[in-house]
Structure 1
Amino acid sequence: MEVYFEIFYRTVLLYIFVLIVFRMMGKREVGELSIMDLVVFVLIAECVAFSLDDMEKPILQTIFPILILLGIQFLNSIIALKSKKFRDLVDGDPSLIVRDGVINEAEMKKQRYNLDDLFQQLREERVPSIQNIAYAYLEPSGKLSIFLKEEDPLVLPLIIDGNIIEKHITMIDKDESWLYETLKKKGYDNPDDIFYCCYENYDLHVQLKQAAINQNTAN
């Protein structure tokens, strides 16, 4: 009887504890989990499984490694918040699969993404033809983001957290000189002060970092 009580006690305690840990990790849909998220979740599941399998093992020996994993995940989230390069390294970068109705075969091979996968996701999004697509991105989560011709405006981020996205500038047949010149005309001299800049409807939409806004207000 004591064994069953111990199993019940451990199961309930670990359930509540893991639930709290996942809640502290932040909200994220299952389909949008990064590789780092999946690794952490799998390791936590293994820790819980070992604890329920070995009843003689002190439960604190299970809780401690889970807390370590929580610390690692929290540290990763802080670094990712401050560094886009780190985000791209850990989570990956969206891949342009279709542009103006043309499939990017080289990128599909690079991502090991075949035509059956592409057509399946097009059917799921109710897109009947490749020719209707202006841009289609394969997201790091595996989801296909589709922008249709004459329906969705072309919106490309050119600056994120002060980092210039060179490949997006190339996609609109521009260069960094054009970007600097256009920003200067709008009164933005330093891209490092820009939190987000996107190209939409043949124009730039800019949002400064809060620190830059506070500095301008103070001046």
Structure 2
Amino acid sequence: MPDWLQVVLRSLFFLIVLFLITKWLGKKQISQLSFFEYVTGITIGNVGAELATKVEGNIFHGVLSILVFAFAPFLAGLISLKSKIFRDLVEGKATVFIKDGKILEDNLKKEKYTTDELLWLLRSKDVFDISMVEFALLEANGVFSVLLKKENQPLTPKDINMKVDLIKEPQTIIMDGEILDEPLSAIGLNRNWLSTELEKLDVLLENVFLGQAKSNGELTVDLYDDKIKVPSPQEKPLLLATLKKCQADLEVFSLSTDSKDARAMYSKNSEKLQQAIDEVAFLLK
């Protein structure tokens, strides 16, 4: 067999072996590498590349070597689930860089980070003023986490005791011009609804590259032809405008009538409608 053909076959073989091993180890191994997993991953890759091109090497010895290096992080992961001490040793521990708004210079030096690098990490989190930070740390996997001071955190509905409806994630219901029935039914919609919405947008199904629907029945589409502009849904703004008009009409009625009972009724309902508008306005904009 020619050497070039052996290299091709060996490369394909080890590609399959490494793929199966990676699937066996799980998604965590490719998303959050510890120091130990990083070292073994590099070694496995080097062994696979060496054996793929070294035609005189024993291919089964190479597979055995890769299995040993693959089993090591798998075993370490099992032990880490049981032992906090072993987990800290193998996976490392997070290092606090800022605590109570104060930079911990010793921890920066320990991780070999400069002040410029700390500022860069903060800017990557959209923080340009260090006085806004209450707590910040470098995770064991290298991810930088920041907690802003309470007065600098974004305002949430909970902060003002506002109740909001649960929002489900948007579902992709059209892909490459084809309807996906499973996600469509997952949000309680059907093809008839989809056909109606596409007619409102004056869009053919075959022209839709990607379509997503929200749980409130709002459809957004992206077309194959980027030059065509799809009008944004207007139902919500129109509904909000209608509610505001009704509320204004009630106020006018209350001012124009001579009946005390009618004036009180119009005024009362005007106030109720205004309260309802205030509660749902953010959903209809």
Q: TM-score w.r.t. structure 1 length?
A: 0.65
Partner of 2:141: 141
Partner of 2:195: none
Partner of 1:53: 53
Tell me the distance in 2 between the aligned counterparts of 1:125 and 1:30: 23
Partner of 1:128: 128
Counterpart of 1:103 in structure 2: which amino acid?
I
Tell me the distance in 2 between the aligned counterparts of 1:28 and 1:43: 18
* 1:103 counterpart = 2:79: no
Task: Write out per-residue CA displacement over residues 109-168 of structure 1, whole angstroms, 9 at most, x where no aligned residue.
Answer: 12222112111111111111111111101111222110111138xxxxxxxxxxxxxxxx
Partner of 1:38: 38
Partner of 1:17: 17
Contact 2:10 2:53 in 1 (8 A): no
* Bigger-Rg structure (1/2): 2
Partner of 1:83: 83
* Bigger mean CA offset, 30-39 vs 140-149: 30-39
SS of the residue 1:116 aligns to? helix
Contact 1:34 1:141 in 2 (8 A): yes
SS of the residue 1:128 aligns to? coil
Contact 1:31 1:141 in 2 (8 A): no
Contact 1:102 1:130 in 2 (8 A): no
| Larger RCO (CA within 8 A; separation ≥ 6) | 1
Cα distance change of structure 1 residues 86 and 98 upon mapping to structure 2, 3 Å threshold: same
SS of the residue 1:107 aligns to? helix
Q: TM-score w.r.t. structure 2 length?
A: 0.51
Partner of 1:72: 72
Tell me the distance in 2 between the aligned counterparts of 1:17 and 1:137: 37
* 1:115 counterpart = 2:109: no
Partner of 2:216: none
Tell me the distance in 2 between the aligned counterparts of 1:124 and 1:29: 25
Tell me the distance in 2 between the aligned counterparts of 1:85 and 1:109: 24
C-alpha displacement of 1:29: 7.0
Task: Write out per-residue CA displacement over residues 77-106 of structure 1, whole angstroms, 9 at most, x where no aligned residue.
Answer: 110010111111111111111023210111
Partner of 2:92: 92
SS of the residue 2:28 aligns to? coil
Contact 1:11 1:52 in 2 (8 A): yes
SS of the residue 2:5 aligns to? helix
Tell me the distance in 2 between the aligned counterparts of 1:113 and 1:82: 32
Aligned length: 152
Partner of 1:2: 2
Contact 2:93 2:139 in 1 (8 A): yes
* Gap regions ≥5 residues in structure 1: 153-219
Contact 2:99 2:135 in 1 (8 A): yes
C-alpha displacement of 1:45: 1.3
Counterpart of 2:67 in structure 1: which amino acid?
L
Task: Write out per-residue CA displacement over residues 161-189 of structure 1, whole angstroms, 9 at most, x where no aligned residue.
Answer: xxxxxxxxxxxxxxxxxxxxxxxxxxxxx
Alignment identity in percent? 31
C-alpha displacement of 1:30: 5.1
Moved segments of 4+, more than 3 Å: none
Cα distance change of structure 1 residues 31 and 105 upon mapping to structure 2, 3 Å threshold: farther
SS of the residue 2:43 aligns to? helix
Tell me the distance in 2 between the aligned counterparts of 1:106 and 1:48: 41
Tell me the distance in 2 between the aligned counterparts of 1:51 and 1:109: 41
